[in-house]
Amino acid sequence: MDRARGRTSMGNCRSRKLGICVSVVALGIFIACTLLAYTAFASPVTNHATLQQVVFLFRHGDRTPTETYPKDPYINYTWPGGWGALTKVCAQYSDTVEKGMLQLYNLGQWIRSEYGTIIGNKFESATTLVHSTDADRCIMSAQALLARLFLPNPEDMFIPGLEWTPVPVHAIPRNLDKLLAVKAPCPRLAEALKQAYINEEKRSGAKMADYYKELTSHTGQNMTTITDVEFLYNTLEIEEQHDLKLPTWTQKFYNNEMREIATRSLAIFTESTTQKRLLGGPLLKEILHGMEETRTSSTPKRSYFYSAHDITIVNVLRTMGFTNELFKPDYGAMLIFELHLVNNGADQEVKALYLNSTETSTTHPMKIPNCASPCLLQNLKQVWRKVIPNDWDAECKM
C-alpha cells in the first residue's frame, strides 16, 4: 500500500525462494483470469474512429520502502533517493534496482503507440489534464510518463538536443485531497473505516491472534491489524526485490498467505457503500463529468491522466463493482476508460480496460458490473448512482 501509516485509516520472481515465486505467479494468474472473466461482451481492439476521450489511472513506478520495522537488519540501509522514492537507472545498482522512472517512461511510449491519435502529438492544456497525488513518486512518475508521451520533434525543442518538453502536473495537497489519495478530513469515512476493522476483527481475530503475536515478536513492532501486515509485506517484498537477504523468520511468513492478507487490507478501505461513496466515488464522479462534457462543452478534454497509488486503483475498481476479487496492482498498472460514439453517434459507450504492469503491452477488457453491453454513459450514471457522492463535504459530516 502506498500511503502513510494509519491504523484507523503482481511482482518479480527473483532467485530467493521458489515457493514465493510460485505463490506470486499463482496469484498473478488468478488476477489475470479474473479480469479476463469480464471480457465476454468487450472488444480488446480500440476503434479509434469512434473514440472521443480516454482516461488513464495508473500506479507510480518501482519505489523504495516507505518504512521499516524495529528489528529490520536493514533499518540503517541507505536507500537511493530516500524512503518511498521512485527508483531510477543507476550504474551502481543497474542489476538489482527496478527502474521506476524507466517503467513509467516506457508506459508513456505505450500510450503514445496506442492512443496517440486521440491525444495528439503535442501537449495542449485545452485537451489534456494531468492530476497527481502529492507524493513525490507519483508526481515524478507522471513526469516520466509525459516525457515520453510528448517527446518533441527537433524543431520543437526549446533547447537544441533536449528531447523533453515541460507538461504541467497538477498535484493536490495531501490535506485537501478529496479525489485521489482522499486524505482530506472526513469524520464519517474515518468512522466507517473503524467499523470495517471491527468487522474484520470479528471475522478473523481469533484466527489471526497467534499470527500477529509471532510477527510482533519477530519484528519488534506491535502487529494488530491486516494493514500492519500489509505494510510489513511491502517492505519485505521491496528488500527481496533489491537482493537484500531477508531474516530466517521470514521463510515462514513471507509467502502467499501474507500477500493475500495484504490484498485484504487494500480491500477493507471500500468494504461498505459509505466507504465506496467517499473514497472511490469522487474520482468516478469526475470521470463521468469529463465524459459528459464531450456533449456539453465546446472544448472538451480528449485525455485525462491520474498518477496515484495501488490503493487508489483498488478503491476505484471496487467502487465500480469489482468486489469479488482481490487486487494488488503492480508498479505502473493502469486502469483505462474509453468513451466511444455508438449507434451512429446517437449514444456514447464506456469501455474499461486494465493493463497489469509495464512488463506487458496487452490490456484486459473489463465488463463493468451491472451495466449492459454496450455500457452506455447514461446507463452507467444510473448503475453508479449509489456510490457517487452528491456533496462530499456534507456527506463526510457525522
What is Dmax (Cα atoms) for the chain?
67
- In this structure, what are the phi and psi dihedrals at residue 171, rounded to the nearest 5 degrees? -95, 135
Answer whether 235's CB lies under 8 Å from 250's CB: no
CA distances from 264 to 328, 337, 345 (A): 9, 25, 42
Task: Give residue 45's pLDDT.
Answer: 60
Does 97 score more than 50 pLDDT? no
Does 37 score more than 50 pLDDT? no
Distance CA 121, CA 112 (A): 8
Answer whether 368's CB lies under 8 Å from 383's CB: yes
Distance CA 197, CA 208 (A): 13
Is 18-187+270-396 assigned to CATH 3.40.50.1240?
yes
| Cα dihedral 188→190→192→196 (10° resolution) | 180
Does 20 score more than 50 pLDDT? no
What would the mean pLDDT of 84-97 be, rounded to a whole number? 65
Q: How many degrees, rounded to 5, is the angle at CA 314 between CA 294 and CA 34?
A: 95
Does 42 score more than 70 pLDDT? no
* Closest alpha carbon to 325 in 382, 377, 364: 364
What would the mean pLDDT of 156-184 be, rounded to a whole number? 96
Q: Which three cell numbers stand for residue 358?
A: 509495464
Per-residue burial over 112-122, b = 16 or more CB atoms within 10 Å of its CB, e = otherwise: bebbeebbeee
Per residue in 294-351, pLDDT (tens digit) is 999 999 999 999 999 999 999 999 999 999 989 999 999 999 999 999 999 999 999 9
Per residue in 221-280, pLDDT (tens digit) is 999 999 999 999 999 999 999 999 999 999 999 999 999 999 999 999 999 999 999 999
Does 4 score more than 90 pLDDT? no
Answer whether 183's CB lies under 8 Å from 177's CB: yes
Hey, what amino acid is at 93?
Y
Distance CA 328, CA 11 (A): 10
pTM of the model: 0.88
Distance CA 208, CA 352 (A): 36
What would the mean pLDDT of 82-109 be, rounded to a whole number? 79
Distance CA 94, CA 156 (A): 32
Task: Give residue 24's pLDDT.
Answer: 40
